Amino acid sequence: MISEVSLRNFKAFVNLSVPLGGFTLLAGLNSSGKSSVLQALALLRQGFDAFQRGGTSGGSAGLPLNGEYVDLGTGADVLNEDYSGDQQFTVALLGHDGGSSSVVVGYEREGDYLPLVGEGFSSTFWQEGAQSITRDGFQYLRADRLTPSATYARSHEVAVRRRFLGTRGEYAVDFLRAFQDEPISADVLSHPLASSPRLLDQLEAWLGEICPGVRLHAVAIPQTDLVRLDIEFMRSDRPRSNSRRATHVGFGLAYVLPVVLACLTARPGSLILLENPEAHVHPRGQTAMARLACAASASGAQVVVETHSDHILNGTRLAVKSALIQPSAVRLNYFRRDESSSISVSSPAIGADGMLSAWPEGFFDEWDMALDELLG
C-alpha cells in the first residue's frame, strides 16, 4: 500500500507530500490540486505500461504524458511555473513498510514524452512502494465519465483480459457482460438485499440505493463490436416491466455504474482511483457509494477518492462508526490554496465514533454557514 505521495515541481505543486491510507478522501475548493494527485498516480501507471512494452532489459527512455490514463499535454503543462532547482519534476511514493520509490522527469517545453533522469522505471522502483500501481485490478475513473448511450464499446483485450473499465467507464457494460456471473470475492462487499454473491445481483442491489428496483441486462449486439445495456424497473403489480435504453434512464445510473463495478470487483493490493463518484447521484446514493468504497478498502484494496460531497464524507464517517472500516485506515486530506497560490494540505483524524479531530475552515462547512445565516 502507498502511504504517501510526494510531488515536486509538478503542476500546481512546488513541493508537497500527501498522506494516503487504505481509504483516502481528497477534498478542497476547485483548482486546489486534488485531481493532480490522482493524475500523478495514473501517470506512473501509464509510464509502467510504456516500460513494459519497451521490454524490461532496455527499459523505457521516457514518460508519456498522453496515453490511456491521462492526457497532460506537454512539458510546459506539467512543470510548476515556480519550479526550484533543475528543470524537472519528481513523483515519489512511500510504501507502508517504509520502502520508497521516486521517478525524476526531465523537462522539454514542447515534449510529450519526457526523458527520465536516473534509473527511471527500474524493477527496483516497482518493488519498493509502487506495487499497487502495477497490479491487476488497477482502476482509474475520471470525473468526465461516459454519458448514457444506446451502445457501448466491446473489447476482449481491455474489459476481459485486463479487466479494466476504462478511465471514462467506457468498457463497464462489456465488463459486466463478461463477468456478471462471477461471485464477488469478499463478504464485506455484499449488499444485505442481494439475492446471491453473483456480481450482477450485487450490482443491482447497490444500484437500488439510487434507482430502486433496477434490473440490468448487458448483451452483445450480433455482428458488431458493440454491447448494449437494457434496463428494467421491477414493479409490484406485474412480473416485469418493459426494458429501456440507458439514454432514457438518466445520467446518474450511467455515471455510477463503473464506480460500483470497480468497488465490487476490487482485488486485495490493487489501487482504485475515483474522481467525483457523487456526480449526478442523489444524496442517499452518495452515502451508499461512500459505504461501498470503504468496503472495497476493507476487502484489501487501496481506494483514493476525490470529492466535493459532504454526503461522501458523512458516509465515510458512518462506515467508521459502524466498524465497516478501521479509523486508522482512513485519511482525510483538505487542500487549500492561499493568496500566493501556494497549496497546503491539512489532515484531520477520524475517531472510532466518526467524529473528526479538527474541522479546518472551508472543509465541508458550507451547510453550517448557510444554516447560521438562515437562523440569524
Please indicate, yes or no, whether residues 146 and 108 belong to a single structural domain of this protein: no
pLDDT at position 362 over 60: yes
pLDDT value of residue 58: 45
How many distinct structural domains can be found in the chain?
2
pLDDT value of residue 239: 61
DSSP assigned state of 45: H
pLDDT at position 7 over 90: yes
Distance (Å, whole) CA 117 – CA 302: 29
The residue segments making up the domain with residue 231 are 142-306
Average pLDDT, the chain: 90
pTM (two decimals)? 0.93
pLDDT value of residue 124: 63
Please indicate, yes or no, whether residues 366 and 270 belong to a single structural domain of this protein: no
DSSP assigned state of 313: H
Do the strands 88-95 and 100-106 form a parallel or antiparallel pair, or are they unpaired?
A: antiparallel
Please indicate, yes or no, whether residues 254 and 376 belong to a single structural domain of this protein: no
Please indicate, yes or no, whether residues 7 and 63 belong to a single structural domain of this protein: yes
Q: How many CB atoms within 10 Å of residue 27?
A: 23
Q: Which of 249, 274, 306 is the last residue of a domain?
A: 306
Please indicate, yes or no, whether residues 314 and 277 belong to a single structural domain of this protein: no
Please indicate, yes or no, whether residues 272 and 294 belong to a single structural domain of this protein: yes
pLDDT digits (tens, 9 = 90+) for 153-197: 999 999 999 999 999 999 999 999 999 999 998 999 999 999 999
Any alpha helices (H) in 60-122, and if so which ranges?
A: 75-78
C-alpha cell, 318: 458512518
Q: Which of 306, 328, 361 is the last residue of a domain?
A: 306
Q: Which of 286, 306, 326 is the last residue of a domain?
A: 306
Please indicate, yes or no, whether residues 283 and 246 belong to a single structural domain of this protein: yes
Q: Would you place residue 56 in the very low, low, confident or very high pLDDT band (cuts 50, 70, 90)?
A: very low
Q: Which positions ≥6 away from 139 have C-beta within 8 Å?
A: 164, 165, 262, 270, 271, 272, 273
Please indicate, yes or no, whether residues 101 and 185 belong to a single structural domain of this protein: no
Q: What is the SS3 assignment for 41? A: helix
Burial of 282 (0-12, 13-18, 19+ CB in 10 A): middle
Higher pLDDT, 132 or 345: 345
Mean pLDDT of 208-220: 92
**DSSP per residue, 4-19:** EEEEEEETTEEEEEEE
Please indicate, yes or no, whether residues 234 and 355 belong to a single structural domain of this protein: no
pLDDT digits (tens, 9 = 90+) for 113-129: 999 887 666 666 666 56
Q: 217: which strand partners?
A: 230
Q: Which positions ≥6 away from 58 have C-beta within 8 Å?
A: none
